Structure 1
Amino acid sequence: MELFTKGVASGARELLDTHLALPQEVHYVADLQRWILSQVTIALHFEHRLDPACPPISPSNLLRAIKDTKVASRNTVHTFLMEMKRYRFITPLASEDLRLQAAQATEMSELLIRRYFDIHLRALDTIDNGQRYALSCRHPDILQWAQPRFARLLLALRDWYRPPQTIAKFDRSASGSSILHELVIGVPPLSAEMTSPIWIGKVSPNAFSQKYRISRTHAARLFGIAREAGLIGWANRSNRGECWISPQLVRDYRYWQAVKLAAVSQAFHEACIAMNDARVGNPKQTEPGVAVGSG
């Protein structure tokens, strides 16, 4: 459990560093709905690159991919892809039928998704002393095989896209996931019997609003909702100073992260097999340089 906690915390720190280094890019996918849509959009892009018979990025194809989850409406998907084009995350794909509104991811999008995926590979390696990240560096093409599998796995995991209400109160809001990471990051492993509040030091909604470029009103509302739910509190009546969070919030957060990391690990493992199959043309043989057991 200690290594798991350490791995989750190291991944969270890297995600927070990314948010601070690339605030505009991260802010655009800083709530769970847009995060899911962005992952599935990139998955369509990589799938189409590997096999042109697979559907490319388009409003109808994105809607079809997420239909069982109901995470977004038709209008939301259309608006999302329009914004992706506006901010140059995707660009039109040459097609004989312009009605398809087909698109492809830009180099910037691919670099961002690689950064995200590598963070999680390193987190997994911290947990089990694996070599996934080193293997990914030696074989960078693994990303286009692994990321679509990761996205598809999460679409099949209701525990991920419909998280507990403790998590949803944060992740449904812009930058809520970064705030949640920061609240939990320093908490040590919890015993099963732990029920008392966990003191985490001084916390100020105003400081978070400045750090993650959200309005003070938004930050105050987010913390107010969490406080009313008994997930967070302060020694004083005001929302600043010495702060505590509930053990249930920590447990739900770590379970939610475990679901995601398990999907990354499985996707990476399956991608290694698929790459070997494609290279040697033998579904039962693996190339020594892309070891199946590394996932």
Structure 2
Amino acid sequence: MSGAAAVIDATPIAYSAHQLAAMGRFPIGLSQAVEELLEIHRTIPREVRYVADVQKFILSQAAMALHYEHVLDPTAAGLTPSHLIKFLDGKPVASKNTVLAFLMEMRHYRFVDAIETSDRRSRAFRATERTEELMRIYFDIHLRALDTIDGGARHALSLADPSFVHIAQPRFARLMLLAETWWSPPKNIAAFVKSDSGSSVVHDLVSRVAGQEIGNDPINVGRVSPTEVAKRYVVSQTHTVRLFAKARSEGLISWEKNISRGDCWVSPQLVSAYRLWQAMKFSAMSEAVAYAAALRTTGRASAHIK
């Protein structure tokens, strides 16, 4: 076996969120992923805005899980409103009406296409090629970041097998749904990620801290203008100003003078909470990749959990 093949065949390690958050290179890998995600938001703002709050993130991942499972096994439940509601397994992520509206929006923005069914009363959908491409980009970003953190070869593994994401993504979606603290985060994180494009705003703020260690004092991140942030991610300036004002009132950020005047400081509590919150996602990704790799090489859904 060649050296390259041996690396690709090595079983990826799955980590818990706390293990990842404690790893020395986690802030570096996280910063790398965040920079790539923000660049995508700047490049295709409409598409990213659609999933840039935590509720739509969960719904979109659940929808893609149903789609990929049906692609791999045509007898599996496909993407329909009833199947998506069932996938949520009673978790208070979204109401039935919200799920229905979400799917209609997905169709409107051409994330999914409607498909014919034998039952005219049932509506079924499949993801478009563009949506599959965006999901692969999303996975690649996080696999490269995990490789940066522990020196693994997850991205090479994914590149070597076009169906790899089809197997790993449904596992990832279910793990994210089980991680209640992800979709119902602590107050300091929820202040951002439960609002339109709020995930990108908090990504932007904390990316300015990059991979540096944090102490007990507020962290100077330079000049931060709500107006510039609104333009960068194509969101309402009024919405962005309101979001920053709320975060300021809760002590998460502060300015030397008024909002957008002088240097901005980010609280260490926000950075710590954000990193641990993100570690939950990376943990789920690492476990999903280990699961898919094990299934690919042995036919069994076993994984090496560290």
- With normalisation by structure 1, the TM-score equals 0.91
The equivalent residue for 1:74 is: 96
- The counterpart of 1:190, out of the listed 210, 213, 216, is 213
Q: Which runs of 5 or more structure 1 residues have no equivalent in the other structure?
A: 287-291
- The counterpart of 2:249, out of the listed 205, 208, 228, is 228
The alpha carbon displacement at 1:277 in A equals 4.3
1:144 aligns with 2:166: yes
The equivalent residue for 2:48 is: 26
Q: Which has the higher contact order (CA 8 A, sep 6+)?
A: 2
Matched AA of 1:229: E
Give the secondary structure class of the aligned counterpart of 1:199: strand
After superposition, residues 266-277 of structure 1 pair within 5 angstroms as 266-277=287-298
After superposition, residues 237-248 of structure 1 pair within 5 angstroms as 237-248=258-269
Q: Distance in 2 between matches of 1:119 and 1:238?
A: 33
The equivalent residue for 1:289 is: none
Q: Which runs of 5 or more structure 2 residues have no equivalent in the other structure?
A: 1-22
- The counterpart of 1:252, out of the listed 265, 268, 273, is 273
After superposition, residues 135-174 of structure 1 pair within 5 angstroms as 135-174=157-196
Q: Distance in 2 between matches of 1:151 and 1:202?
A: 36
The alpha carbon displacement at 1:35 in A equals 1.1
Give the secondary structure class of the aligned counterpart of 1:68: coil
The equivalent residue for 1:113 is: 135
The alpha carbon displacement at 1:237 in A equals 2.6
Q: Distance in 1 between matches of 2:194 and 2:88?
A: 17
Give the secondary structure class of the aligned counterpart of 1:99: coil
Matched AA of 1:30: A
Is this contact kept in 2: 1:132–1:294, CA < 8 A? no
The equivalent residue for 1:178 is: 200
Matched AA of 1:7: G
The alpha carbon displacement at 1:52 in A equals 2.1
Q: Distance in 2 between matches of 1:168 and 1:203?
A: 20
Q: Distance in 1 between matches of 2:78 and 2:206?
A: 38
Q: Distance in 1 between matches of 2:290 and 2:121?
A: 37
- Identity across the alignment (%): 47
Give the secondary structure class of the aligned counterpart of 1:130: coil
1:125-167 Cα offsets, whole Å, 9 max, x none, are 0000110001111112100000000000011111211111111
The equivalent residue for 2:17 is: none
The alpha carbon displacement at 1:294 in A equals 11
Is this contact kept in 2: 1:122–1:132, CA < 8 A? yes
Q: Distance in 2 between matches of 1:68 and 1:238?
A: 41
RMSD over aligned Cα, in angstroms?
1.8
Is this contact kept in 2: 1:32–1:172, CA < 8 A? yes
The alpha carbon displacement at 1:229 in A equals 0.3
- With normalisation by structure 2, the TM-score equals 0.88
Q: Distance in 1 between matches of 2:295 and 2:257?
A: 56
Give the secondary structure class of the aligned counterpart of 2:121: helix
Is this contact kept in 1: 2:287–2:305, CA < 8 A? no
How many residue pairs were aligned?
Answer: 283
1:171-228 Cα offsets, whole Å, 9 max, x none, are 011111111111111324435xx22111110001011111111111101100010000
Q: Distance in 1 between matches of 2:217 and 2:305?
A: 39
Give the secondary structure class of the aligned counterpart of 2:113: strand
Do the aligned partners of residues 232 and 108 (structure 1) sit closer, same or farther apart at CA in structure 2, a change above 3 Å counting?
same
- The counterpart of 2:115, out of the listed 86, 90, 93, is 93
Is this contact kept in 2: 1:130–1:294, CA < 8 A? no
Give the secondary structure class of the aligned counterpart of 2:79: coil
Q: Distance in 1 between matches of 2:297 and 2:151?
A: 23
Is this contact kept in 1: 2:52–2:198, CA < 8 A? yes
The equivalent residue for 2:286 is: 265
